[in-house]
A and B are shown apart, each in its own frame.
Chain A
């Protein structure tokens, strides 16, 4: 619709002009000395006048002007940075606790050096075979079943050799070991009853058969194996192995509700799935430990779970519910969700965290929303425009310089020089441009080149690859220009060859050069954005109109996040269109022959 008006305006303007001139011709003096009548415009002014008369060219010029202001000045006015990531506080379901029903024996050892997972696996093997001893690294261990799912592990040390023959017992103590006499009675009873161990002085002694003889071994408790898991109630409590062992033993007896250890009194409170231990102090009770068949671990290291929370969690899981509410340290109720995977449970907690505002809808704060990195789209469009335009201009500058020099030399010297240069042009013309750029892009990917240096490489390659068009045009023009009289005059004045080419011939090609360069700018911007779109040009964190569009790939993103890619695409389209309008207008302005 705009075009119609433009065209009408134009014809009206034209009519006005002609009426004006005829009016002047009639009213003024017809003599040639009248300056008004023979007002002559310089060729440059004529071009400008013709250019300004072309509506499309003006529109293109305005578009480009807008793009420049938007890209180069817009960045200063935008309150945000190119790579500023926006965050907001939101709730997110985060894994908080993992819990599993313990079905394997776990060991608690007095010292990790004396009893560790090596011995533990030996224990499992021995227990499954029903053996009471096992040997590891020449050290004997004794397993003593203390109760249901509870075994004590003893380290054995031979102390005596025993011969027992026809009720005569002789005990040969090893060197440096002393034993009271009364132990002999215990040994005797044990042997007679076929026992392999006996208790004496609350210490266990083991009788190991060695042929006809026996070896008496003293024992030292090093660990216990149990299905029950005991965990301390608060972070600061130091629970010793001895206490754990004592507690485990105390737990075997269902009747015990209060026990004493090291002069301190402890209370046991049993419920369905767990037993909690309270430390009875003069000023009141204090939670001390929790024993249950569940292994409960918090996902993050710095969280310590309270006994009450654990009990609540176990209760919820055993009741089959999938969520529960428990107050946090500030007294606020927080909902926890439980996910089950076989015997593993994962508890998720809704926590407030800093979330990156990804694909935020347009708002007053972000006029075009945010992209997939949580960056302001409008700001990135500005910086992207800057990169696209700068790349365009530098590349065109580069290709024009190379093209003019090569074309000028070829055109001026002709013959062999011309032949060689034109064949080089042909070769460059044949090398497929886009595939080459893609290859170089993916090689730069493989080499992990810094995104900033990439941009320079990109400019260099685009410039070096696209000069043949300009060289060909320059050469063609110069071939005819050099035969003209002014060149003979230039030669006659004895000017240097370089001066003849670049001062006398090239200026005559400037109009065509300007047109080619303007149209070329659009082409370069398309190449650059296509490459960036494919992820092989300008790379994140640097913005480019192409790589902003590449942020959306699926149909879902396309329809829902239109505010990210449509503006970027429209900017590319408008900029290229602007350059094409201007280039077209310039061509018409420089070469009015095409007008009927």
Chain B
């Protein structure tokens, strides 16, 4: 087992190396005039360095003056030491900006994640137990609706209903206008109110997939021989479903949920952007649109890292949770 994990980690590291290289190559292939425009723009900001200084800095930080491979090596060696350079858009070190925004994303993601679990798993199991029943069809349609809903459209509808019509919730932003004037609990309440719509969007848009997954797995389990045995033994249907079947359904679900755990830090690009929640997704979006190469580079590699970590966790959990699947 340990050998397997070490092997997987080694593969992941190699993969991450190549992924960041590809991202670097893409970034380098962006026409240089783009960097020059960026330098010109940055030099015009109040209190900024001159155009020539900026251009020189951009070229050295990214090894633009060197070959692509050499430049990448330079970037990678800096990155290993935790130095991702300074963000052009935010004028602070990339890592510092990252630390200041990641927790909002994590809060949004984890609350939506918990809500999804509590909605999707019971409903998925219900749908599977009563396959082709009224509730099964309803749940299937709802799940597919959730999958088919574009996040931006759903978010806009929520804004229309709750912000524009009812006026209950704010249109966007993380804090209200008078946040600074509020006392402790009111501040918390202010943020909570701003987080409701984004969390709702994330939950509804993401819940469908998990629901379908639960249903499919539960169906598979309910069709298996040991469930027939349990029924033949004369156990009550309740015990068969809630005890024998449920535990076995949990195996693939726990695996896939474990895989999504790193994703909680990934932030929701579209949702955060639409609600202007200053999490990693919105920050990344701003960086990308403004051509902030240091932050974009970091953001992309960070996302790739999370994906790799997710698959790794899922694979390891699969072996850990299900004793039948021990990898040789």
Report A's interface with B, CB cutoff 8 A.
3-4, 6-7, 10-11, 56, 423, 426-427, 429-432, 434-436, 438-439, 442-443, 446-447, 522, 526, 529-530, 533-534, 546, 549, 552, 555, 558-559, 562, 565-566, 569, 572-573, 576-577, 580-581, 584, 594-596
Q: Is there contact, CB below 8 Å, between A432 and B304? A: yes
Residue numbers in A under 8 Å from B171 (CB-CB): 555
Residue numbers in A under 8 Å from B18 (CB-CB): 423, 427
Q: Which of A3, A534, A569, A573 contacts B141 (CB 8 A)?
A: A3
Known: A435-B296, A526-B150, A581-B144. A3 touches B160 (CB 8 A): no
Q: Is there contact, CB below 8 Å, between B137 and A7? A: yes
A40 to chain B minimum Cβ distance, whole angstroms, is 26
Distance in angstroms between the alpha carbons of A7 and B130 in the assembled complex: 12
Q: Is there contact, CB below 8 Å, between B150 and A530? A: yes
Known: A432-B303, A594-B216. A558 touches B164 (CB 8 A): yes
B305 nearest CB neighbor, chain A only: A430
> Which of B223-268 touch A at CB < 8 Å?
223
Distance in angstroms between the alpha carbons of A438 and B291 in the assembled complex: 10
Distance in angstroms between the alpha carbons of A11 and B130 in the assembled complex: 14
Q: Is there contact, CB below 8 Å, between A435 and B164? A: no
Report B's interface with A, CB cutoff 8 A.
11, 15-16, 18-19, 22-23, 26-27, 30-31, 34, 37, 131-134, 137-138, 140-141, 144-145, 147-153, 156-157, 159-160, 163-165, 171, 216, 219-220, 222-223, 269-270, 273, 284-285, 288-291, 296, 299-300, 303-304, 307-308
5 residue pairs A–B, Cβ–Cβ below 8 Å: A4-B137, A56-B140, A443-B34, A552-B156, A594-B223
Q: Is there contact, CB below 8 Å, between B304 and A438? A: no
Distance in angstroms between the alpha carbons of A594 and B218 in the assembled complex: 10
B135 to chain A minimum Cβ distance, whole angstroms, is 9
Q: Is there contact, CB below 8 Å, between B165 and A435? A: no
Q: Which of A431, A549, A552, A595 contacts B22 (CB 8 A)?
A: A431
Known: A7-B132, A434-B269, A439-B296. A559 touches B164 (CB 8 A): yes
A583 nearest CB neighbor, chain B only: B144
- List 4 A-B pairs, minimum CB-CB distance, nearest first: A432-B303, A569-B153, A576-B148, A3-B137
Q: Is there contact, CB below 8 Å, between B165 and A594? A: no
Q: Is there contact, CB below 8 Å, between B289 and A573? A: no
Q: Is there contact, CB below 8 Å, between A446 and B219? A: no
A449 to chain B minimum Cβ distance, whole angstroms, is 11
Distance in angstroms between the alpha carbons of A491 and B163 in the assembled complex: 66
Q: Is there contact, CB below 8 Å, between B15 and A573? A: no
B205 nearest CB neighbor, chain A only: A526
Q: Is there contact, CB below 8 Å, between A430 and B31? A: no
Distance in angstroms between the alpha carbons of A430 and B164 in the assembled complex: 39
Distance in angstroms between the alpha carbons of A264 and B237 in the assembled complex: 120
Residue numbers in B under 8 Å from A594 (CB-CB): 216, 219-220, 223
B149 nearest CB neighbor, chain A only: A573
Q: Is there contact, CB below 8 Å, between B284 and A442? A: no
Q: Which of A7, A56, A423 contacts B133 (CB 8 A)?
A: A7
Residue numbers in A under 8 Å from B308 (CB-CB): 430
Residue numbers in A under 8 Å from B37 (CB-CB): 446
B10 to chain A minimum Cβ distance, whole angstroms, is 12
Q: Is there contact, CB below 8 Å, between B19 and A430? A: yes
A386 to chain B minimum Cβ distance, whole angstroms, is 18
B245 to chain A minimum Cβ distance, whole angstroms, is 13
Residue numbers in B under 8 Å from A423 (CB-CB): 11, 15, 18
Q: Is there contact, CB below 8 Å, between A430 and B30? A: no
Distance in angstroms between the alpha carbons of A10 and B34 in the assembled complex: 60
Besides the known contacts A430-B308, A432-B299, 6 further A-B residue pairs in the complex with CB atoms under 8 A apart? A427-B18, A439-B296, A534-B270, A534-B273, A569-B157, A594-B220
Distance in angstroms between the alpha carbons of A565 and B156 in the assembled complex: 9
Known: A3-B134, A549-B156. A577 touches B144 (CB 8 A): yes
Known: A426-B15, A430-B15. A435 touches B299 (CB 8 A): yes
Distance in angstroms between the alpha carbons of A106 and B151 in the assembled complex: 65
Distance in angstroms between the alpha carbons of A447 and B291 in the assembled complex: 12
Distance in angstroms between the alpha carbons of A530 and B222 in the assembled complex: 38
B284 nearest CB neighbor, chain A only: A435
Q: Is there contact, CB below 8 Å, between A7 and B134? A: yes
Q: Which of B16, B222, B273, B307 contacts A596 (CB 8 A)?
A: B222
Q: Is there contact, CB below 8 Å, between A435 and B288? A: yes
A590 to chain B minimum Cβ distance, whole angstroms, is 15
